Structure 1
Amino acid sequence: MRTVEDTGRERRADPATEDFVSHRNLLFTVAYEMLGSAADAEDVLQETWLRWAEVDREQVREPRAYLVRITTRQALNRLRTLKRRRESYVGNWLPEPLLTSPDVAEDVELAESVSMALMLVLETLSPTERAVFVLREAFGLGYDEIAAAVGKTSAAVRQISHRARRHVDARRPRETVAPDQGRAVLDSFRRAFETGDLQGLMDVLAPDVVLVGDGGGIKRAVPNAIVGADRVVRATMGGLRKVGSAVTGRATMVNGHPALAIHLDGEFDGIMAARVEGGLITGLYYVRNPEKLTRLDSETPLTLR
């Protein structure tokens, strides 16, 4: 009769399982950056494993590259479906926030690639453009590798990459901010927000700050993006007066950047992420949709390698 230990040894001895497990965090990061949804990324990983288990390993020279290729193809298929689904999404759509470790914040390239601000920009790309951009800019894959993953020629991938990078560069944050600076700015915002200090809020918000809320049709959120410090302050403080609740913010780390876990009368309400540039907040992203707040109990390991 086989014991649990025997089964465990068999699994550890299985090269296919070992390769998949050793690259799992990388594959999840690839899928998440392409989809903006942890739940969909997990589904993609399951599909990747099923296909990987059927592969003739004698035909595989580089397990990592092969696994990334399978993951990319499955994520592309799902992304095309999600694009159609998001057209009917109620209100603004924001990526699913992930609780991350300080290590993610310290890896500048990784933190930028999974930031709420950048991932929102990636939503404006076509599925193929997004896949090419993510694989090239975040993971540093060569054009030939990407071509094999997305089913295009290397020449086509090179053109798509250049086009996608120009599009993203025109919309992405203009500078990278150290975690300590981001925390300090967000803490000033928190104090002003909690105390109703209107001038304090104006002092920490950029003149052209953008507020985006995502309630998914389940919770109330601003229906359209709000632009401008005056309008953002009026909307946030006006919303609090309507709710009539005491608001508090707890510092946390989401998608490699400082964020606030917002509580109303002590009850968790949502995640407020921010984009900080030049010492001021230029973007606020408030996720209230409860279906997107399920990955905040434990840290999600992410990696580009």
Structure 2
Amino acid sequence: MAPVADSPEILPITPKTAKSSPGVDYFDAATTTPEMVIDSLVRNGGCFVKNLLSTQEVDTIVSDIRPYIDADVAWTGDFFPKETRRVCSLAEKSPTFIHRVLANPLYLEVCDKMLSSEIESWTGDVYEKSISPPQVNATIAFSIGPGARAQGLHRDSIAHHNRHPAITAAEYKMGRDSAIDIFVAGKKATKANGTTRFIPGSHLEHYLEKPDESRAIYAEMDPGDAFIMLASCYHGGSANTTENEERLMLAGFMTKGYLRQEENMYLGVSQEAVKQYPRHIQDILGYGLSAPFLGWVDLKHPRKVLYPDEDLDDDMY
């Protein structure tokens, strides 16, 4: 563990940071829209989407990752309990997870609207407009065994060094968040077996507001249900107090295209695996360009690494 910095002064609760117990919305995948999910995320920080995956799709993903779970060893650090088993680089290991969770059209459209960035610039006398679409931040499956302690509540957005002031939902602007998470239950997820807990509304608070466990709710889900959450929300895995139940969670994370990915896709996923996916998935895995200029190889579009003969615009705006 790195040395721990001196504890900051605990911030007083101000009118902007005091919350009136925001609700958490439940939607059904067959009827919800990206706009409904975005509105809910702005107000509450997280929402549920039931029936995102079919039973067969869940079973396929679990079958894909089970050998890797069984082969993993106990975590030796403090961030996860030692009963945790993890599977990363899921683009290499479960195409069904990539197609149906990470590249789920509902999730991707929410990420596109909330994480995309646009900038205008001049190059000499030429006016340019460039768009940086979202990219994958990480992909992880978590298996939490009986006896696991609760994970400390934390914000995933600390990876991007975000220092946000407190605001109200009415003041929220697109671009404030640097990442959006999606958690899909691989098995029934309950408070008892350690499902994710999170603090609604914590995305609106000052970045150093200390998490209050009494405000946390538990993301209990049936297999195939999803929980979508802004990365600035306080959350963490809960204690698995059961004797024989595994908490199995399938997680995808998207971030802004111009930020460094939390999981290094270029080393974790082979080019052979990347080539099996359609272009829009290759782009979000990191083989697209964050315009202008970010991601080139030999001053060429990164897709040239996969397909050397493909004709692409070398100006990269």
TM range (shorter): under 0.3
TM-score, length of structure 2 as denominator length: 0.26
Task: Give the structure with the higher percent helix.
Answer: 1
Task: Return the index of the structure with the highest Cα Rg.
Answer: 1
Relative to its length, the structure with more strand (as a share) is: 2
